[in-house]
Amino acid sequence: MKLKPLFDRVVILPEQKENTTSSGIILPQTSQEAPQIGKIVAVGDGESLELDRTGMKVNVGDRVLYNKYAGSEIKLDNKTYIIMRQIDIVGVIYE
């Protein structure tokens, strides 16, 4: 990853929808606003944009559930990533 996010942002590599069944979590077909799954590939220094606090709750490598419409897509080496704030990550998935 050649991108260092600023503040409390993270870079996420979204999972392909085909893989999600094997992981045990299946996003509902009916809801278009369901959270998505992806892997954290880069994190900022954790300084909040609104509060006087600093800290990241996720690490590189974490598999996370994030709000569908959060962040912005970027392309790097033919992969599409999403850069968003950590407050838009709703939870960490563990096995």
Binding site for a second copy (CB under 8 A): 2-7, 9, 11, 24-28, 31, 33-35, 42, 44-45, 47, 49-53, 57-58, 65, 67, 72-78, 80, 83, 86-87, 89-95
Are 37 and 15 spatial neighbours (Cβ–Cβ below 8 Å)? yes
Rounded to a whole number of angstroms, the minimum distance from the CB of residue 18 to a second copy is 16
Any idea what the Cα angle at residue 89 is, between residues 86 and 94, rounded to 5°? 120
| Residue 87: CB minimum distance to a second copy, A | 6
Backbone angles phi, psi at 76, to 5 degrees: -145, 125
Minimum distance, C-beta of residue 26 to a second copy, in the bound complex (Å): 5
Task: Count the Cβ atoms, other than its own, within 10 Å of residue 25.
Answer: 13
